[in-house]
């Protein structure tokens, strides 16, 4: 069972479309739901409206939540556990990217965006992982290892690279922080058998396909590594 944030975005929708047959997915979205069948939406054949369609065999359960608001992380964790009784994979995909093409010293825009970048890109992944650890994973060592339970934090290559004149200073700093948080969580969560890794893709879909990023998530889920930041640079194999 997968708890996925940022489900209404490009990557979240691609993940739900590609892997809804493989996972029960609690798809958390702020406003826009993923364009997939769920408890709210289904496809209808206009010629035979009552006929069952294989496209509707979806295991996606959507939840609208603004995770920046107090109590919403806890609500989402409670809903996921109440619905499915477990969480095997947490995908922290929700992100905020406020770019400042004129640089950080051009007015106060970058300074105003600082807190939100770190609250969304670092704080929400931390809070979700901590709450799941406290509410479900912490005392289930053997069960966690048997189900290969893990966290995938969706980061960015900009967390390890400098791309001049892109206005990414604050965004990149938050992703660098997420990368190091991922390594620390991997060390701490190993005590109760939960792996933690990061996925750092290049710009998608401009440089790398969104589907390949979604596949990178499942690659980390099915592996046995922990504390790794998997870089997806382009059409070639990941590093």
Catalytic residues, by residue number, are: 171
Distances (CA, A) of 196 to 77, 120, 136, 144, 221: 18, 18, 16, 12, 9
Taking a C-beta distance cutoff of 8 angstroms, is the pair 166, 195 a contact?
no
Alpha carbon 203 to its chain centroid, in Å, reads 16
Task: Enter the tokens of residue 4.
Answer: 């996925």
For residue 201, the SS3 value is strand
Taking a C-beta distance cutoff of 8 angstroms, is the pair 6, 63 a contact?
no
Taking a C-beta distance cutoff of 8 angstroms, is the pair 91, 28 a contact?
no
**Which sign does the torsion angle of CA 133, 81, 67, 167 carry?**
positive
CA distance 109 to 130: 31
Taking a C-beta distance cutoff of 8 angstroms, is the pair 225, 195 a contact?
yes
**Which sign does the torsion angle of CA 203, 207, 208, 211 carry?**
positive
């Amino acid at each position: 069972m997968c708890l996925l944030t940022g489900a209404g975005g490009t990557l979240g929708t691609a993940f739900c479309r590609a892997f809804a047959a493989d996972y029960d997915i609690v798809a958390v979205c702020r406003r826009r739901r993923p364009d997939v069948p769920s408890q709210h939406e289904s496809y209808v054949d206009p010629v035979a409206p009552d006929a069952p369609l294989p496209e509707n065999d979806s295991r996606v359960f959507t939840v609208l939540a603004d995770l920046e608001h107090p109590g919403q992380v806890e609500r989402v964790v409670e809903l996921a556990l109440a619905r499915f009784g477990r969480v095997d994979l947490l995908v922290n995909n929700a992100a905020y990217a406020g770019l400042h093409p004129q640089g950080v010293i051009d007015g106060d825009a970058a300074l105003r965006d600082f807190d939100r970048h770190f609250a969304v890109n670092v704080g929400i992944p931390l809070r979700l992982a901590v709450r799941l650890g406290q509410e479900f994973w912490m005392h289930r060592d053997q069960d966690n290892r048997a189900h290969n339970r893990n966290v995938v934090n969706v980061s960015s290559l900009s967390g390890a690279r400098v791309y001049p004149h892109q206005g990414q200073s604050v965004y990149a700093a938050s992703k660098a922080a997420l990368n190091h948080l991922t390594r620390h969580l991997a060390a701490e969560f190993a005590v109760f058998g939960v792996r933690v890794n990061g996925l750092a893709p290049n710009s998608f879909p401009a440089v790398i396909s969104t589907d390949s990023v979604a596949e990178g998530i499942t690659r980390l889920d099915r592996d046995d590594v922990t504390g790794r930041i998997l870089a997806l640079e382009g059409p070639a194999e990941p590093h």
